[in-house]
Amino acid sequence: MTNPLKTQVLIKIDTITYKGHSVIRINIPPQKEISFVGEKAFIREDSSTVEAKGPKLLAVSQLFQK
């Protein structure tokens, strides 16, 4: 992650209680460009996080062009 994104994420971490359990909540602020972890980018597909490669990465990239 880029340093600005790390800072934005770290200041948005808090805990909530859900059904009697403490849960860490991490809020990710809206981004203006694709964020990479090392050389990889990830997207959500339904309830999973998957690496964005090839056409999927291009499709995500186009979302930021608008």
Of all residues in the chain, the percent with pLDDT exceeding 90 is 39
Pair (37, 66) in one structural domain: yes
Whether residues 64 and 44 share a domain: the answer is yes
Give the model confidence (pLDDT) of 27-40 as tens digits.
888 888 888 888 89
pTM value surpassing 0.85: no
Count structural domains, the chain. 2
d(CA 63, CA 61): 5
pLDDT at 21 over 90: yes
Confidence (pLDDT) at 5: 78
- Nearest Cα residue to 31 out of 54, 12, 55, 56: 12
pLDDT value at residue 11: 86
Write out the residue range of the structural domain in which residue 19 sits. 1-30
Report DSSP state, residue 65: T
13 lies in the same domain as 39: no
User: How confident is residue 54, by pLDDT bands cut at 50, 70 and 90?
Assistant: very high
If asked whether residues 26 and 54 sit together in one domain, one would say: no
Which is nearest to 27 in space by CA: 48, 11, 43, 46? 11
